[in-house]
Amino acid sequence: MSYSEYEMINNYLIQVRKKLPEWLKLKKVEVKKILEDLEKEILNEAKNIANGQEPTDMDIQQALIQIGSPEGIAKEYKRRGTPRLYITEELLDFYIGTMLFFFLIVIGINILVSIFQFIFQPLTWLKTLGGMFTGMWIGCLITAIVITVLFVYFSMEGFLPEDFGVIPSRLALIFPFHISEKGLQETKEYTKIKLEEARQRAKATITKARSRIEEKFAEIKDLRQEKLAAAELRREQKLLEAKMRREDRLERLKQRKEERKEATRMKKELGKKHPVSLGELIFGAIAGLVFGLFIIIQPFANIQGLFEPEFLEWLKVFGLLMVISGLMNLIRLIIGVRNNTGQQVMLVIEALYSIAYVPVFLVLLSAPQIFPISLFSGGTISIIPFDTSNLAYIIYFWVIIGIIIAILGSSMIGNFYKVSKLQKIKADFY
């Protein structure tokens, strides 16, 4: 096989691999087997077109056209699962369990916040109770929408509970639906059956293409016989001319393969680590939601002389930003740590979102008198005047500037670094 023929087939296989559903990309052994079988079919098809001779670039190209587009081949592997409205039957119990789990989180947060309000504001219990139920309703509604959209996407891509590891079985312990270890094992067997069916459908597609080619050959057989002798002479001449080029290309190809092997070995030795961790997302979601809601509700606001009203309003805005940040971490957690594309999108959104903190801190910079400096100075400094020559204001000014730089630096630079690292991981391993 010449270098150009190899590149033509290899590019086609790369396109097929990119179009495969996400759940199948995680099964590297299955993907490798699918691509190897497809490569054999392409070569067999090209040899049939070449009438048993060594296939040329045109033969390979014609074989690829007859087999079909990469999208058509990959589409056969998305037909997994039993449709039931927009979510497959296999994912339905997992979907319900996941939704109930996050409902419990939303309800728990609202109850926790209400307890704080009952402690610090016992006279407003009726308002607190109403706020708790309102928060539960809105939180559960948002949770239901987000989880439903995600599971519709999972169903369209052909995901099954087995593709999510131990999470479905753990949820089944909390919410005893039909998901069990036996059920997960059955879905694994079901996946094997579906993969085999998809392979058979792909082979059937190729067989139909081969039949169409044979029919065309029958129609032009007489004409080809007349031109066969001249074509054979030209073929031999081309083979002789291409022999030296082919040997040179094969040598270069061999060298490139060695270089790729060496590069792969070096990458494995470096031991790349995934830049996104499950613990990081869980902590970010819980911390953002709990602490953000705490400073929005402000159970400490009624303590006389502790905070200025303007500073309490500033805290509410800051708490809202933290709640939104916590929700972003929760969405990233739902998307999945190993969903590299989804994590990249959310990291970019978070990096851009961090800019929203800048005007909030600039408000403190322009109104230093509202900041409760007496709490931090032990009463030594009662207020920070808006005076650029005052030492307290100068220190306060540079502390705020440092916080702004730290937020932008840690969020934007860190997130874009993670995005680039995820892109490298996708390029190397997917």
The per-residue pLDDT for 142 is 93
Residue 145 pLDDT: 93
* Whole-number Å distance between alpha carbons of 160 and 34: 19
Give the Cα separation of 26 and 24 in Å (integer).
5
Provide the angle, in degrees to the nearest 10, between the axes of the packed helices 340-353 and 309-335.
Answer: 170
Q: How many residues does the chain have?
A: 430
| Region class of 305: left (phi > 0), else alpha (psi between -120 and 50), else beta | left
Is 187 exposed, middle or buried (CB count within 10 Å of its CB: 0-12, 13-18, 19+)? buried
- Per-position pLDDT tens, the chain of length 430: 667 777 787 888 888 778 776 656 667 777 788 888 888 887 887 787 777 777 787 877 787 777 777 777 776 666 555 655 677 776 777 788 888 888 999 999 999 988 888 887 776 777 888 888 898 899 999 999 998 988 887 777 766 666 666 565 555 545 454 444 555 455 556 556 665 666 666 666 666 656 665 566 566 666 666 677 667 777 777 777 778 788 878 888 888 888 777 766 655 544 456 777 888 888 888 988 898 898 888 877 676 567 778 888 888 898 898 899 899 989 988 888 878 888 888 888 888 888 888 888 888 888 888 877 766 666 677 778 777 788 888 888 888 888 888 877 777 788 888 888 878 877 766 5
Q: Residue 273, SS3?
A: coil
Only one residue has tokens 């509604």, namely 141
Q: What is the pLDDT of residue 137?
A: 92
Pairs from 387-393 (Cβ < 8 Å, separation ≥ 24):
393/368
Confidence at residue 271, expressed as pLDDT on a 0 to 100 scale: 42
pLDDT of 10 reads: 82
Q: Which residues contact 117 (CB under 8 A, 6 or more apart)?
A: 124, 128, 131, 297, 299
Q: Residue 27 — φ and ψ, nearest 5°? A: -100, 85
pLDDT digits (tens, 9 = 90+) for 333-355: 888 887 888 888 888 888 888 88
* DSSP string computed for 388-423: TT-HHHHHHHHHHHHHHHHHHIIIIIHHHHHHHHHH
The token duo for 224 is: 């080809």
Tokens 């409205």 sit on residue: 85
Q: Are 194 and 80 in contact (CB under 8 A)?
A: yes
